[in-house]
Amino acid sequence: MPLDPQLAPLLALIENGTPMHALSPAEARASFRTLTVDLRPPGTLAEVASIEDVEVAGAKGPLAARVFRPHAEGPLPTVVLLHGGGFVIGDLDTHAGMARAIAAGADAVVVSVDYRLGPEARFPAAAHDAIAAVRDVQGRLEEFGGNDVLAVAGDSAGGNLSAVAAQNVPGLAAQLLIYPATDVAGEFASREENATGYFLDMPTMAWFIGNYADESADLLDPLLSPLRGELAGQPPAIVVTAEFDPLRDEGIAYADALEAAGVEVQHHTYPGLIHGFFDMGPWSQACQAAVDDTVARFKPLLHR
């Protein structure tokens, strides 16, 4: 299917800027924040009942977190959201739209976690933070959703961390993996087909990994490449990918590997869309439809 034409102006805007891989981490964070927060059209965020800033446990100390509560009667499921951004960029504000969409659409309390980023905190810092945060929330469910259902969700690097957390924290009810990075050292056709021109490109992917994992890191470590981990016994998964995304095929590979390990999986590749579509609903009807469909697929796993 052709690229969604409504994405063309957004891609043109991105192409006219300085490539992310040519920026410092601080500059890249500011640029991403401009795109996802400052340029976000007003009135496009899903409505929630309340938002509260809290702390959750990390591997080396407390982490900032934000709780999004929906307009729904409790007790409710709880979802720990781990944001994307290549382990280098992204924060609670850049992913507020995603948190709100999941909370409102899935009738769940979302706890969005601000884990440590590279290069200040190198691998496996983010993975260890994700595991610690999910374990902490698991022990405090009465403070959040109130029932015994806990799930994880995340996009891109956050999808990676959600998969890592699911492999290391028993008792989760579900996982939502949105165009996840699953195999850093793998070779996939989508990395060649979609190497440039679709927001996330291969030079930026290399820049992300270079800022997160130093030369001593084992790229096959399941804490970095969850496709290499133990998949039997994982919680039910929703895995969504985008046609014009360099990460498409490793997301598909992860869904296939989960299914082969006997895990309940739903996978869907959204045609015509690109990496990051979850935040592009204000500019693209197809992106918004994909967001709504993704959350609709996730909701039944939380309310069984």
Q: Please list the active-site residues.
A: 156, 245, 275
**Sign of the dihedral through C-alpha 138, 143, 148, 152:** negative
The full set of domain ranges for the chain reads 5-302
Non-local (6+) Cβ contacts of 302 within 8 A are 77, 79, 106, 107, 108, 149, 151, 173, 174
Does 1 have pLDDT greater than 90? no
Residue 178: DSSP 8-state: E
Does 278 have pLDDT greater than 90? yes
Does 119 have pLDDT greater than 90? yes
Does 92 have pLDDT greater than 90? yes
Does 20 have pLDDT greater than 90? yes
Span 166-185, mean pLDDT?
98
Span 146-168, mean pLDDT?
98
Confidence class of residue 74 from pLDDT cuts 50, 70 and 90? confident
Pairwise CA distance, residues 243 & 236, whole Å:
23
Span 73-84, mean pLDDT?
97
CATH code of 5-302, in short, is 3.40.50.1820
Q: Of 207, 268, 213, which is closest to residue 237 (Cα–Cα)?
A: 268
Non-local (6+) Cβ contacts of 3 within 8 A are 198, 244, 272, 274
Global model pTM greater than 0.85 = yes
